[in-house]
């Protein structure tokens, strides 16, 4: 049975019981200790009310007032999704985690810089991890892998927030070409990373995500060999039992250390940046090519802001079908987004019904087809755009359709 199946069954069977227990406990607490939060005149009078008074109503009111929900930010949502904070580690394992806590606290400015870089991505990644009912600590893997830098590249060739090697990215379907690198695309690489972790946990480790994390770093072959060696020595073969490459030995301790700091930052004197609970970007599905410069003009958004949200676009152009999704700031006007999705100004018919002034070439287009569509000859279209050879037409190219 996989990790996800076990957890889903537990939640389904235990969820209603746990919720009811919490509600009963909270209600009992409100009745037994109204003076704890009842220093107000109303609470005091309720505590001394005569039989037949409205005391039950007051108690219920106090109870529901205690359940008033506070607005949550991304950090609160992340903490709520943590699942490993209560696990009992051996003294030796805990010492490995504590070493990394001390290391991170030696340079709090590094934590501040990394968490600022996480600002556009943290809420969305936490949302994706939570949807799969995975431990929220996994949302912090980019902290360990890339310091939350979506364009990070290692000397070994790994790239992106999740630091995929080229062959691993290829195996997971992350497209790479001269225009686009899916390893740098936060949307596609996050899905691939979570798929990969779950796949390895199910295939090799009976749902053990800690071993899958080790395999994510060192490769399943290395981890499987170390696991068999530990089991021959009479150990359980869990992550903490294994002798692995040094980087992999530190992988989970580093992740748990940063999760511990983020769980109680005030304890460690760490200040985290404000990050809204909703994702900082909107996704626009496109079936045509567009440059970031063109999108910037249409959306009235700085080109640099679009570039930061779309690091997978290597030359500043979204070329379908390599990529179909453009990320834009979440506060962009919806009507303008619809206009971008429909092709922008260059593909709209003008109000008087005449042909548009420009056309953006799509994959599969030819000069003759475009010319026929707009009542032009191929020769005229070539003249207007200084095209010498029809076969030189490229997807994404902007063509002028008239003299004006």
pLDDT digits (tens, 9 = 90+) for 339-395: 887 765 443 333 334 456 677 787 777 777 787 777 788 888 888 888 888 777 887
Residue 181's φ and ψ, nearest 5 degrees, are -130, 105
Helix, strand, coil percentages for the chain (3-state, nearest 5): 55, 5, 40
Residue of 316, 307, 399 whose CA lies nearest to 362: 399
- 109, 137, 145, 300: the catalytic one is 145
pLDDT of residue 32: 38
Tokens of 365: 């287009």
The single residue listed with the structure tokens 């379907």 is: 173
Q: Which residues, 6 or more positions from 314, have their beta carbon under 8 angstroms from its beta carbon?
A: 178, 179, 180, 181, 184
* Dihedral over alpha carbons 385, 390, 394, 400 (to 10 degrees): 20
Active site residue 65: no
Decide: 308 and 116 in contact? Cβ < 8 Å: no
What DSSP line would sit under 232-264, residue for residue?
A: HTT----GGG----HHHHTHHHHHHHHHHHHHS
How many angstroms separate the CA atoms of 258 and 349, rounded? 54
Q: Which residues, 6 or more positions from 339, have their beta carbon under 8 angstroms from its beta carbon?
A: 298, 345, 348
Tokens of 258: 């940063």
Using alpha carbons, list the distances in angstroms from residue 316 to 25, 150, 230, 287, 403. Answer: 57, 15, 49, 17, 28
Tens digit of pLDDT per residue, the chain (404 long)?
444 444 444 444 444 444 444 444 444 444 333 333 333 333 333 433 444 444 454 444 444 444 444 557 999 999 999 999 988 999 999 999 999 999 999 999 999 999 999 999 999 999 999 999 999 999 999 999 999 999 999 999 999 999 999 999 999 999 998 889 999 999 999 999 999 999 999 999 999 999 999 999 999 999 999 999 999 999 999 999 999 999 999 999 999 999 999 999 999 999 999 999 999 999 988 888 888 988 998 898 999 999 999 999 998 988 877 778 899 998 888 788 888 877 654 433 333 344 566 777 877 777 777 877 777 888 888 888 888 887 778 877 888 887 65
The single residue listed with the structure tokens 């029809």 is: 390
The number of angstroms, rounded, from the C-alpha of 38 to the middle of its chain's C-alpha atoms is: 43
Q: What length is written for the chain?
A: 404
How many angstroms separate the CA atoms of 3 and 138, rounded? 14
Tokens of 204: 């090799």
- pTM value surpassing 0.75: no
């Amino acid at each position: 049975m996989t990790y996800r199946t076990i957890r889903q069954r537990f939640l389904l069977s235990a969820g209603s019981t746990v919720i009811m227990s919490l509600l009963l406990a909270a209600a009992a607490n409100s009745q037994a200790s109204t003076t704890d939060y009842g220093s107000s005149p109303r609470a005091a009078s309720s505590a001394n009310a005569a039989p037949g008074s409205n005391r039950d109503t007051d108690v219920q009111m106090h109870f529901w007032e205690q359940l008033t929900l506070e607005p949550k930010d991304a950090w609160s949502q992340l903490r709520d999704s943590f699942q490993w904070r209560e696990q009992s580690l051996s003294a030796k394992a805990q010492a490995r985690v504590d070493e990394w806590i001390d290391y991170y606290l030696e340079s709090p400015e590094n934590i501040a810089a990394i968490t600022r870089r996480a600002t556009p991505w943290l809420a969305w990644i936490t949302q994706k991890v939570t949807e799969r009912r995975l431990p929220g600590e996994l949302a912090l893997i980019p902290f360990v892998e890339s310091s939350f830098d979506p364009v990070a590249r290692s000397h070994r060739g790994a790239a992106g927030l999740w630091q995929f090697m080229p062959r691993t990215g290829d195996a997971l379907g992350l497209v790479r070409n001269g225009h686009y690198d899916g390893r740098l695309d936060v949307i596609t690489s996050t899905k691939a990373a979570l798929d990969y972790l779950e796949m390895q946990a199910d295939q090799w480790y009976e749902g053990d995500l800690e071993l899958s994390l080790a395999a994510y770093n060192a490769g399943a072959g290395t981890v499987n060999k170390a696991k068999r060696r530990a089991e021959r020595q009479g150990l359980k073969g869990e992550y903490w039992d294994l002798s692995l490459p040094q980087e992999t030995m530190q992988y989970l301790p580093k992740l748990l250390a940063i999760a511990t700091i983020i769980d109680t930052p005030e304890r460690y004197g760490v200040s985290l940046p404000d990050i809204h609970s909703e994702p900082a970007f909107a996704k626009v599905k496109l079936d045509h090519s567009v440059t970031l410069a063109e999108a910037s003009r249409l959306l009235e958004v700085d080109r640099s802001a679009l570039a930061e949200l779309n690091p997978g676009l290597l030359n500043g152009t979204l070329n379908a079908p390599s990529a179909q999704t453009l990320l834009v700031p979440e506060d962009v006007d919806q009507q303008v987004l619809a206009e971008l999705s429909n092709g922008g100004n260059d593909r709209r018919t003008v109000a008087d019904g005449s042909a548009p002034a420009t056309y953006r070439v799509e994959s599969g287009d030819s000069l003759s087809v475009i010319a026929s569509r707009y009542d032009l000859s191929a020769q005229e279209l070539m003249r207007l755009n200084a095209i010498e050879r029809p076969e030189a037409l490229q997807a994404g190219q902007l063509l002028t359709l008239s003299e004006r």
